[in-house]
Amino acid sequence: MFKKILVANRGEITVRIIRACREMDIPVVVVYSDADRTALHVRYADEAYSIGPAPSVESYLVAERIIEVAVRSGAEAVHPGYGFLSENHRFATMCAEAGLVFIGPSPRAMESMGDKLQARHAMAAAGVPLVPGTPELTSAEQAHELIGPIGYPIVLKPSAGGGGKGMRVVEREEDLAAALESARSEALSSFGDDSIYAERYVLRPRHVEIQVLADNHGNVVHLFERECSIQRRHQKVVEEAPSPFITPDTRMAMGEAAVRAARSVDYAGAGTVEFLVDAEQRFYFLEMNTRLQVEHAVTELVTGIDLVKMQLSVAAGERLPFTQDDITLTGAAVECRIYAEDPDRDFMPSPGRITALRAPGGPGVRDDIGVYEGYEVPLYYDPLLSKLSAWGRDRDEAIGRLRRALSEYVIEGIKTNIPFHQRLLRHPDFLSGDFDTTFVDRRLLAHAAACADEELALVAAAVLAAMHETARSDAGDIAGAAEAGGGSPAWRRAGRRAAAEGGCGTW
């Protein structure tokens, strides 16, 4: 096993990796930007080195600087976490050239699966189901020609990158040219690559992913699925394991397909094969993430397998200590991503100082956190503060524990999306498992917007009524006002009426 590793990341995932290393008695080196000088991962690590200014392009994305720190500190391996350089095959190659072990798959496997067009070709060869799609679209004219046989609606996707950036849903042929230009522009600015292709748009699909683990001795297993359909603008916000939707037969078929996908590129380490699943439980390959996922905690909770420790063991050359038959699914787990963002202002980032913090606890609750009371949340990075997860004997118990944990969570000084999660976890469609990838944008947020308009109109009416009563009072019509309102102002009556009817609720 390694005598020392460097984590090339920041925030809660770096703290998570340090914790696994502490249990294995492995010292950890971390890096930090000027904005992260007082970050929790810096305080928690054994050694910490500055790597530059706050912008990630001048610090966390400068591969040469990170490798120089790893070599100078005596680290033997580099764990990339997720985001930043975690799926950069050139960085993995640079680590090897510097005599460092990259804790992840081979550069060839990363390159094969990192480019979505290459990945589609590899999956077709491996017999993994694909959504009908096109090769790279080089012009609007070619796009019209290739998309015609597929039919609309379609979705334009960047060949590189992820996180919903560069994606465009096109419902009509006449909108294709403008959408293609817009998608290319965003893909180029986000990933430095404007390659775009198209796939048939699966209407209201589920997003279900399979966790895989593989070693360098030919052993590949899957750790069942995660349901990731609760998304806002193509970004996952709540994940759970197992999926409340798919059947045992579909679970088995998807797991086998994910193992074939990993074998097809000689994968080693932890990875995730993502699928779209339609209402008839037909599933289609979406992409493979060649790294640890944000939502890995729910898989750990239902399988009892520490994925970070498995990554370290595989990178050190060890065999997987179990076979597929050894892996069991126990109970259910749900995870909420806690962001520093304001749900009342279209989820705008909310940087600033955390003036009070009390994390939840209790049976079945896990909080992977990367901040502390007094910490100044910077504006430069993803606003993820923590990942709050709960395990239960079944889905209902896991959701109940998560709701209780959210009610205990105190984060003051900044806005967070905790109220959003509290609302979501009580929505009847979520509780029944009746949702898809459009649920948050199409139902939850649309309903909240309608409620906001309704409440604004109610307040306006109440104010007008109160002004009217005031005018009547000033005119000396006290008896008339008492008779009309029983001595109770109109705004108070409106508030009682809204409370009695349950109202729409607020964020």
Helices (H) and strands (E) in the chain, counts: 18, 22
Same domain, residue pair 401 and 318: yes
Same domain, residue pair 225 and 356: yes
Same domain, residue pair 459 and 399: no
pLDDT of residue 502: 40
Residues in Cβ contact with 77 at an 8 Å cutoff, skipping those fewer than 6 apart? 2, 5, 6, 100, 101, 102, 103, 312, 315, 316
Same domain, residue pair 242 and 275: yes
Residue 17 lies in a domain: yes
Same domain, residue pair 369 and 399: yes
Kindly state the DSSP code that residue 442 receives in the 8-state scheme: I
Same domain, residue pair 398 and 460: no
Alpha-helical regions (H) of 129-213: 140-147, 176-191
pLDDT of residue 234: 83
pLDDT of residue 483: 35
Same domain, residue pair 316 and 429: yes
- Side chain identity at 55, as an amino acid letter? P
Same domain, residue pair 416 and 277: yes
- Indicate the number of domains in the chain: 4
- β-strands 410-412, 356-358 pairing: antiparallel
Q: Which of 163, 179, 200 is the last residue of a domain?
A: 200
Residues in the chain with pLDDT < 50? 452-459, 470, 474-507
398: region left, alpha or beta (phi > 0 left; psi from -120 to 50 alpha):
alpha
Residue 127 lies in a domain: no
Residue 113 lies in a domain: no
Same domain, residue pair 189 and 213: no
pLDDT of residue 189: 83
The one catalytic residue in 10, 206, 226, 291 is 291
Alpha-helical regions (H) of 29-175: 40-44, 63-73, 89-97, 107-114, 116-126, 140-147
Same domain, residue pair 342 and 358: yes
Compute, in degrees rounded to 10, the torsion defined by CA atoms 279, 282, 287, 290. 110
Same domain, residue pair 338 and 430: yes
Q: Which of 88, 103, 118 is the last residue of a domain?
A: 103
Whole-angstrom distance, CA of residue 398 vs CA of residue 420: 18
Same domain, residue pair 279 and 196: no
Query: What is the domain range of residue 164?
Result: 132-200
Residue 340 lies in a domain: yes
Residue 123 lies in a domain: no
Residue 110 lies in a domain: no
291 is catalytic: yes
pLDDT of residue 487: 39
